[in-house]
Each structure stands twice: as structure tokens, then as C-alpha cells.
Amino acid sequence: MTVMLGLAPKPVTRTAPAKRWRNYYRVYHVLDLFRLGTIFPGIHAGPDEFPSQEIAEANAQAFLKALNPPGRYLMDFAGAFPEGDAAN
């Protein structure tokens, strides 16, 4: 007895890919950052937009490496999201 699988073709995506990505950060201490001013604990969007998720994540890693002192975390990466979506 042979059974034919009723496989449907893969659906076509109708939404365009995200053109801008923004990094979101989790802040643990009150910080006074040059470009942003004073930020309080919570989740905040970064000031820059990036053309792809990979570029956004690479910039977030470099930023956090420069900001966080060894052994301490003042800020942590919450994720890169397409413009219009948010981490919170």
C-alpha cells in the first residue's frame, strides 16, 4: 500500500525584510553616556540604526566591551530588533 504525501509548496513571504535594525540594552546602573545623556536602569534602545542584524550585533559587542569594566556589568545586550519592534 503506498500513501502519497500531500505536501503543499512553501508559502511565499509577502513582507519585505527589515531594512533597519536597532540594538536594545539592559542597563543595571544609572549611567551618564556622552551621546544619550543620563540613562536609568531598564531596557533602552541604542541611538544607531544598522542595515542588518549581524552588523547590529557586532557593534553591540564592541560597544559593551569598551563600556563594561573587567569583572563588572553596567549594561548588557538585550537583542537586535527590526525597526518598529521593541525589546520590551
Domain boundaries in the chain? 21-73
Regarding pTM above 0.85, the answer is: no
Give me the pLDDT at residue 41, please.
95
Mean confidence (pLDDT) of the chain: 85
Q: How large is the average pLDDT for residues 53-63?
A: 94
C-alpha cell of residue 82: 527590526
Residue with cell 540613562: 39
Tens digit of pLDDT for each residue in 1-15?
Answer: 555 667 777 777 666
Say how far apart CA 77 and CA 63 lie, in whole Å: 10
Nearest partner of 83 among 25, 17, 20, 15, judged by Cα: 20
Q: How far apart are CA 45 and CA 48, in angstroms?
A: 9
Look at strands 37-39 and 31-33 and give their pairing: antiparallel
